[in-house]
Amino acid sequence: MTAPSFTSLGIPRWTAGFPALTYEPSTDDMEVLFDHLTYEDIAKTIDHSLLRPELDDKFVEENLRLAASYDVASATMRPADVERAVAALRGSGVLVGTVVGFPHGNHLTSAKVFETERALEQGAAEIDMVIQIAALRSGRDQDVESDIRAVVDAAHGAGAIVKVIFENAYLTDDEKVRACRMSEAAGADFVKTSTGFAPTGATHADVMLMRANTSSRVQVKAAGGVRTLDALLAVMALGVTRIGATATKTILDDFKARKADADAHVAADGAALDQGGY
């Protein structure tokens, strides 16, 4: 298989005509965005995360059914769960992703490549890899870029995409900018804020910094702390096209309820106008 093209990466249609904001989104900004979004736009922004170490088989199986029923973009699995997820989600339209070098990033590159290749053999379509955090902080940028490129080459060779996790809680802004540039140079498809296991997760400042320091070829994923529909709308307004979420049901149920309420108001307003006549 060949590397995925830009158009095959599932870039949402709502991004057309909605340039990423360079300031904190206002309530009005989010209302305008909400009005233009469909259920699919929101659902296909979510990678349903099943990565906590204590999750048992029953919980994983229930949440794979949830991911399928809500038709999200993907389920992000622990490496040991990839095969069962692929079987459970076959035919659903929901992809299976997994993590590499997780959560600390300081694995041997050869180990990351092996993890990637094994996950792809088992049916994973998306790889979320953690950079070599210590190497980045130490100024060994070539080592960081080579590490990313090795995983990207393995994944793209099988038609999969790569999201590069920075773990911003441990980085300075300069290090985040360098990580953006190295990720793009190495051919990554996404840059991602965090694993969800560090002291802090996705911040608006980090999302804006990452969007400003990558080209339109590279998408931005926010992970850690996006637990409500309003929080999702806010990062979408800043240019995010994927999030990692555990509160998937809450977010999507809220979206459906708000859309139904908005539709009811429109219908009521239309009925009032009809009764008024001319």
Q: Which residues are catalytic?
A: 128, 192, 221
What phi and psi, each to the nearest 5 degrees, are found at residue 126?
Answer: -140, 140
Rounded to an integer, what distance in angstroms lies between the CA atom of residue 266 and that of residue 126?
40
19 preceded by a cis bond (ω within 30 of 0)? no
Residue 23, classified by CB atoms within 10 Å of its CB into exposed (0-12), middle (13-18) or buried (19+), is: exposed
135 to each of 99, 171, 175, 192, 259, how far by Cα in Å?
Answer: 19, 11, 11, 18, 46
Cβ-based neighbour number of residue 260 at 10 Å: 10
* Both tokens assigned to 197: 């296991």
Please enumerate in sequence order all residues whose Cβ is within 8 A of that of 101, keeping only pairs 6 or more positions apart, or say none: 107, 111, 112, 115, 129, 130, 131, 132
Helix, strand, coil content of the chain in percent (nearest 5): 50, 15, 35
Do the Cβ atoms of 30 and 234 come closer than 8 Å? Answer: yes
Q: Residue 195 has what DSSP assignment?
A: -
Closest CA to 153 of 113, 192, 97: 113
* Both tokens assigned to 11: 């870039």
